[in-house]
Amino acid sequence: MTDNARILFEQNEVIQMYFNDPEWSRFDLKKEAVLKRRYEFFAGRVCAALAYKKLTQKKLLELQINEDRSPKWPHGIVGSISHNEKYVVAELSSKAKGLGIDLATLGSVEKNLQESICNKDDVTQINGISSEHFLTYIFSFKESLFKAVYPLVNEFFDFQSASVTQVDFAQKTFQISLNEKISSLLSKKMNHSEKTFTFAGDFSILDQKTLLSRVIIP
């Protein structure tokens, strides 16, 4: 048995293999959404179920939805689901306190969003990454952090609350810090005394077009 399990597919593959199989119909939104949304939701849940089986050797019979629309993971499990227009991924852990994963299409984040995404403590450039793709990296790193932290603090926070302080393109790693306000909330939940939290993240590039970012809170 492993402590972490990740399942990554192209969305079209998941739909072709599982969507019309009655065994997997429990993960279909059916008439509650347009077909595109049904496909996205279904593909994410299938990946989560496959990751759960890989992690625990058990079948995931259902995956309920929290009030904030996030997945309600089984007891003792943390996880994250993400998709872009091509891929879908789910990763689960039985040891981590938090886990966030994000898929983003390179170049999809527009320049006019820079002020809402970046703050004065963020890196201003990343060696090996073009200026056209820079914002996608910062956005995705912060999104993966949000997904890891939010279930622990149960309070929404914006991208100004986190700073990407270091990126190593060769090693495909980054460091990201929370501001004092969110760190204080996290400290209370985790019974720590840190004034600020800094986490290590990792990333990879799929088919030269998609960025996959991840933050794990051990």
Give the Cα separation of 127 and 147 in Å (integer).
26
The closest of 217, 203, 207 to 102, measured between CA atoms, is 203
CATH topology of domain 100-217: Ribosomal Protein L22; Chain A (3.90.470)
Q: Using alpha carbons only, how large is the chain's radius of gyration in Å? A: 17
State the pLDDT at residue 100: 98
Residue-wise pLDDT tens digits, 137-147: 999 999 999 99
CATH 3.90.470.20 boundaries in the chain: 4-95
Structure tokens at 53: 């089986």
State the pLDDT at residue 12: 97
State the pLDDT at residue 30: 78
Residue-wise pLDDT tens digits, 168-196: 999 999 999 999 999 999 998 888 877 88
Which residue numbers in the chain have pLDDT < 50?
1
Compute the mean pLDDT over every residue in the chain, rounded to the nearest whole number. Answer: 94
Give the Cα separation of 67 and 172 in Å (integer).
34
**C-beta separation of 166 from 106 below 8 A:** no
Structure tokens at 218: 């051990």
Pick the CATH number of 4-95 from 3.40.50.720, 3.90.470.20, 2.60.120.330, 3.30.56.10: 3.90.470.20
